[in-house]
Structure 1
Amino acid sequence: MELAVEKYKVENEPYYLPIGREVELFEAAYAGKLPVMLKGPTGCGKTRFVEYM
């Protein structure tokens, strides 16, 4: 079975402006294989942050 991954491939890096240490903390959690829960109001950038990471 061949997967059509080309249509899901990210061509351009999503724009994200880090505000604090969220990138460093996310990378540390990833390295430690720890889950991360993002919580915030609608439109605050949770999805954009995950796309950036």
Structure 2
Amino acid sequence: REPKTITSHEFAATALAIMEQTKITSLVVVDGDMKLEGIVHLHDLWGTQMM
């Protein structure tokens, strides 16, 4: 399977929406060339005002 990805310039709200829609807890963060920049986990968003 292909991992779900998000670009580094997307908002946290977008990441949360993707996680909720696909019922996953983390996304691979990539740049515009699809190179790995990191991983964002649902727990990372807990510290924001998103949740």
TM-score bin (small chain): 0.3 to 0.5
Q: Which has the higher helix share?
A: 1
**Greater relative CO (CA pairs within 8 A, separation 6+):** 1
Which protein shows a greater Rg? 1
